[in-house]
């Protein structure tokens, strides 16, 4: 019951945010933009999003191997596709991650190893995103004309950077009392794993390249959405605006980021001197691309062994004890 109420509340937040951000928009202009969509660009965006999932699979396998939650390429890809489906119907990426966690456990890994692999993978991805945002601040500062927008961007960048550095440093602390409280103990373990993944001579360069490429591909997807409606927005503007928006919309207050993403996109476009209507349309198309990919993940889920057998029988068939 509580899960249902949380879903309803987040759906209400999504609808409320969409109403607030779109109520002042010229819907005739939006309709005009949408009526002239170039489907070739949308198809390209969907293809790039699938490539993004494949690269995310490769990074996740690097992390999961260190966590002793070993996955084959096919398993990791299948779980990521299923996760992309649940990301579209559950709050933010948390729903998809929870399903991935269950799938990894069903595959034979312990709950702790499965949890650490997913949490650490997310943390590594967020650290890479923060680095992109901070590295692009000089250009972002020059692009954003609004003083409040500049202050917000700089604040987001350095608060996020401080959090990333703090998370990594936490793994180097050896104080016993820090690990006496169980949340601290698990965060510390994830920090240790993240340090191993990032600073390892074997996995570090690979994980860094994959993480940066994954976020750059998100920019490419947004750029494809811009080109699909032939909006007068330059690639450098998209590269500067999209990463901070991705970071702020990770907070699980809505379903798949709907509403929150549109609000942030419109604010960002306005701050950069671009049309808010274009920001709204690009955001809607951006969400639609991931919705399409999520639908493909839904097909994978429908025909998956876990879905066909059912949770109870699946545990029995794999001889895994219930938690």
Say whether pLDDT at 177 is over 80: no
What pLDDT, on the 0 to 100 scale, is given for residue 318?
Answer: 46
Residues facing residue 255 across a β-bridge: 91
- From 229, 242, 230, select the one nearest 269 (Cα to Cα): 242
Domain ranges of the chain: 28-316
Bigger pLDDT: 13 vs 156: 156
DSSP 173: -
Non-local (6+) Cβ contacts of 221 within 8 A are 45, 48, 49, 52, 286, 289
Q: Tokens 């943390």 map to which residue?
A: 123
Say whether pLDDT at 94 is over 80: no
Q: In the structure, how many helices (H) and strands (E) does the chain have?
A: 15, 0
Percent of the chain with pLDDT over 70: 77
pTM of the predicted structure, to 2 decimals: 0.82
Q: pLDDT-based confidence at 220, cuts 50/70/90? A: very high
Residues facing residue 91 across a β-bridge: 255
Q: What is the pLDDT of residues 112-168, one digit of tens each?
A: 899 999 999 999 999 999 999 999 888 877 777 777 777 878 888 889 999 999 999
Given a contact cutoff of 8 angstroms between Cβ atoms, the answer to whether 46 and 79 are in contact is: no
What pLDDT, on the 0 to 100 scale, is given for residue 209?
Answer: 95
**If DSSP codes are grouped into helix, strand and coil, which group holds residue 318?**
helix
What pLDDT, on the 0 to 100 scale, is given for residue 92?
Answer: 59
Q: What is the pLDDT of residues 249-258, one digit of tens each?
A: 776 656 666 7
Q: What is the pLDDT of residues 258-293, one digit of tens each?
A: 767 777 787 778 777 777 788 888 888 998 999 999
What is the spatial distance between Cα 74 and Cα 33, in angstroms, rounded to a whole number? 39
Non-local (6+) Cβ contacts of 256 within 8 A are 14, 87, 88, 89, 90, 92, 287, 290, 291, 294
What is the spatial distance between Cα 16 and Cα 25, in angstroms, rounded to a whole number? 15
Percent of the chain with pLDDT over 90: 34
What is the spatial distance between Cα 308 and Cα 110, in angstroms, rounded to a whole number? 22
Averaged pLDDT score across all residues of the chain: 81
DSSP output for 241-267: HHHHHHHHTTSSSSBTTTTHHHHHHHH
What pLDDT, on the 0 to 100 scale, is given for residue 253?
Answer: 58
**If DSSP codes are grouped into helix, strand and coil, which group holds residue 91?**
strand
Given a contact cutoff of 8 angstroms between Cβ atoms, the answer to whether 92 and 261 are in contact is: no
Given a contact cutoff of 8 angstroms between Cβ atoms, the answer to whether 191 and 170 are in contact is: yes
What pLDDT, on the 0 to 100 scale, is given for residue 39?
Answer: 92
């Amino acid at each position: 019951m509580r899960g249902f109420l949380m879903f309803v509340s987040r759906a209400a937040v999504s609808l409320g945010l969409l109403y607030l951000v779109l109520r002042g928009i010229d819907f005739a202009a939006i309709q005009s933009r949408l009526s002239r969509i170039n489907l070739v660009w949308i198809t390209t965006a969907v293809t790039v999003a699938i490539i993004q999932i494949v690269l995310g699979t490769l990074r996740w396998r690097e992390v999961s191997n260190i966590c002793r939650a070993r996955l084959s390429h096919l398993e990791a890809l299948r779980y990521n596709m299923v996760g992309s489906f649940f990301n579209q119907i559950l709050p933010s990426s948390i729903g998809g991650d929870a399903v991935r966690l269950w799938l990894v456990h069903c595959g034979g890994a312990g709950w702790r190893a499965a949890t650490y692999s997913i949490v650490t993978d997310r943390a590594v991805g967020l650290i890479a995103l923060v680095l992109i945002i901070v590295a692009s601040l000089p250009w972002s500062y020059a692009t954003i004309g609004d003083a409040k927008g500049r202050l917000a961007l700089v604040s987001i960048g350095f608060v996020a950077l401080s959090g990333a550095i703090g998370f990594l440093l936490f793994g180097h602390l050896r104080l016993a009392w820090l690990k006496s409280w169980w949340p601290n103990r698990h965060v510390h373990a994830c920090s240790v794993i993240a340090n191993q993944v990032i600073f390892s001579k074997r996995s570090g360069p690979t994980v860094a390249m994959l993480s940066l490429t994954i976020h750059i591909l998100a920019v490419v997807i947004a750029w494809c959405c811009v080109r699909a409606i032939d909006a007068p927005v330059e690639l450098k503007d998209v590269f500067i605006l999209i990463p901070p928006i991705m970071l702020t919309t990770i907070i699980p207050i809505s379903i798949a980021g709907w509403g929150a993403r549109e609000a942030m996109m419109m604010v960002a476009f306005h701050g950069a001197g671009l049309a808010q209507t274009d920001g709204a349309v690009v955001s809607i198309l951006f969400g639609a691309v991931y919705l399409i990919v999520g639908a493909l993940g839904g097909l994978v889920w429908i025909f998956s062994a876990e879905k066909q057998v059912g949770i109870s029988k699946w545990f029995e068939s794999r001889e895994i004890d219930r938690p």
